[in-house]
């Protein structure tokens, strides 16, 4: 079997972990795990920075030693759910009355990837989606207030478009620090709204799990550092396996 996992989101899915700092024991990718990113097959450690895919790969490999695992990563720094990832084609904000530009990339590339892999003759399953996004939506109140509806719509749209109503959906909790920009203005001022929404969506939707991240180390006010990214990947795998058991 070939299992495809979609890794989607914004900068903490892109990753700010430093590849050169990865412990030696985790530098050798599992033999049954492949990474597809930016339209090409890549080595797991192909950049000088990495995201949760490294920490995710070993637990998934151990859980499914007889399967081929494909990590399909599509992430853009600064991308919001309100517009950029919007699957519905319509959002309620000014000048945003059109389809988000990233969502079609997900469905189009997954279809292309499935065609490429079909020549193997193996059964192909879209096994799960890991979602690390929401920091951008926490900057603006109107985006934060819409996040619950938009995230629920996104979960439902992905499941419908890939044909798996029981697709486990794993949400990485956002953890940006709220800091003062100038008098009366704060960056990520609506973080608590997005965080509460992520908890609510995970609690009220079948096969949706939340990964806690507030304790993960960061390299700045927003991004998880090397150790934080490795642990984030491990927690994604743990949450996926938990969701799968309850399926």
pLDDT tens-place string over residues 136-165: 999 899 999 999 999 999 999 999 998 899
Query: Could you tell me whether strands 2-9 and 124-132 are parallel, antiparallel, or unpaired per DSSP bridges?
Result: parallel
Contacts of 135 (CB under 8 A, 6+ apart): 10, 11, 12, 174, 176, 188, 194, 222
Q: For the whole model, what pTM was predicted?
A: 0.91
User: Tokens 């001022």 identify what position?
Assistant: 189
- Nearest Cα neighbor of 26 from 242, 239, 226 is 226
Contacts of 125 (CB under 8 A, 6+ apart): 1, 2, 3, 4, 164
98 pLDDT exceeds 50?
no
89 pLDDT exceeds 60?
no
Contacts of 139 (CB under 8 A, 6+ apart): 187, 188, 189, 190
User: Could you say which DSSP state residue 224 is in?
Assistant: B
Q: What is the pLDDT of residue 246?
A: 59
- Nearest Cα neighbor of 81 from 156, 39, 129, 138 is 138
Kindly report the backbone phi and psi dihedral angles of residue 195, in degrees, each rounded to the nearest multiple of 5, phi listed first.
-60, -45
Q: Which domains does the chain have, with CATH numbers?
A: 2-245 (3.40.50.1110)
* 247 pLDDT tier (thresholds 50, 70, 90): low
């Amino acid at each position: 079997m070939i299992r495809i996992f979609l890794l989607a989101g914004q900068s903490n899915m892109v990753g700010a972990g430093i590849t050169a700092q990865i412990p030696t024991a985790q530098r050798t990718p599992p033999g049954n795990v492949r990474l597809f990113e930016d339209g090409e097959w890549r080595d797991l450690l192909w950049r000088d920075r990495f995201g949760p895919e490294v920490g995710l790969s070993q637990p998934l490999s151990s859980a499914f030693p007889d399967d081929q695992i494909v990590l399909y990563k599509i992430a853009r720094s600064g991308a919001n759910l309100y517009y950029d990832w919007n699957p519905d084609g319509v959002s309620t904000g000014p000048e945003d009355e059109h389809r988000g530009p990233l969502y079609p990339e997900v469905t189009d590339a997954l279809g292309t990837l499935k065609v490429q892999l079909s020549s193997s003759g193996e059964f192909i399953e879209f096994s799960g989606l890991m979602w690390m996004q929401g920091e951008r939506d926490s900057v603006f109140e109107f985006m934060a207030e819409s996040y619950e509806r938009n995230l629920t719509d996104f979960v439902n749209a992905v499941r419908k478009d890939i044909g798996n109503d029981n697709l486990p959906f794993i949400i990485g909790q956002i953890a940006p620090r709220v800091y003062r920009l100038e008098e009366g203005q704060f960056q990520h001022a609506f973080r608590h709204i997005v965080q509460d929404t992520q908890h609510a969506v995970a609690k009220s939707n079948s096969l949706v799990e939340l990964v806690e991240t507030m304790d993960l180390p960061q390299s700045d006010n927003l991004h998880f550092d090397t150790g934080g990214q490795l642990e984030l990947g491990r927690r994604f795998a743990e949450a996926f396996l938990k969701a799968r058991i309850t399926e």
